[in-house]
Amino acid sequence: MAKGRKGAGKSLVRATLAIHEPPSGYSTTPGGLIKTFKFDFNPVQLSLSRRANWKVTPTVAVRDGSLPEFMGQEPAEMSLEIFLDSSDKPTRNTVLKKVEALLACCETTAKSSAGKQPSPPWVVFQWGSFSTARFTAYVTSVAANYTLFGTSGVPIRATCQLSLQEIPSKTKRQNPTSGALTARRVHRFVAGDSLQSLAWNEYGDAAAWRAIAEANDIDDPAAVPTGAELVLPAAEEVSA
């Protein structure tokens, strides 16, 4: 672990950023998994914000002011710092590849362009039981600052500032103040797994495998490779 990185970086539960194809049509469920970005070190600081939209109608000065009208809540926003370090293996370009993966979150995916619905990827940020910060979003900005380079000029240490904006969903929330989807998580497919067994363990209904297949763009449920990382939709999404 790099010197000076304390606090959350020591946590055994690692934060993840699952990068997905955008959905087709008007769905609020992310498409197939492109890549799972695993944090080398957990964020030492994470900022969450949400704004309420109120409308106030001006009135004549001599009258009492009008009551404000609530127009709805705006999507949650999150900003965090990602620290990357491969100084223990200075000949590798691990840091460069991870930064490029983050920058690509602001670029249109080839699959969405081919489907006539060009869009950058959707992402799902998760960090253990920190439910308030778990939500589906798109990346609004990425700023990378390279701070250390190997002898060949390849960056081996970087700090990235990442900003996310929640994608509103009609599904139930975890609590009245949270913008998070309730139980959506990522499952790594292991030997002996099947979509039916996952559906039974997750939802108590083996027939719900179709929802898992749809969420991950799986055409053949019998051909899921070992090691594949699958998004398991929230129970409310499956029941809906």
| Domain ranges within the chain, ordered by starting residue | 9-49+73-173, 183-240
Mean pLDDT computed over 48-67: 76
Question: What pLDDT is attached to residue 215?
Answer: 83
Of 98, 171, 180, 169, give the one whose Cα is nearest residue 135.
Answer: 180
Question: What pLDDT is attached to residue 57?
Answer: 76
Question: What pLDDT is attached to residue 172?
Answer: 43
Please, are residues 137 and 122 in contact by the beta-carbon 8 Å criterion?
A: yes
Question: What pLDDT is attached to residue 171?
Answer: 43
Mean pLDDT computed over 131-147: 90
pLDDT-wise least confident of 34-38, 140-144, 193-197, 236-240: 236-240
Residues 219-234 pLDDT 10s: 888 888 888 888 888 7
Amino acid at 54: W
Residues 169-206 pLDDT 10s: 654 444 433 444 444 677 888 888 888 888 888 777 88
Q: Does domain 183-240 have CATH number 3.10.350.10?
A: yes
Buried b (16+ CB within 10 A) or exposed e, 222-239: eebeeeeebbbbbbbbbe
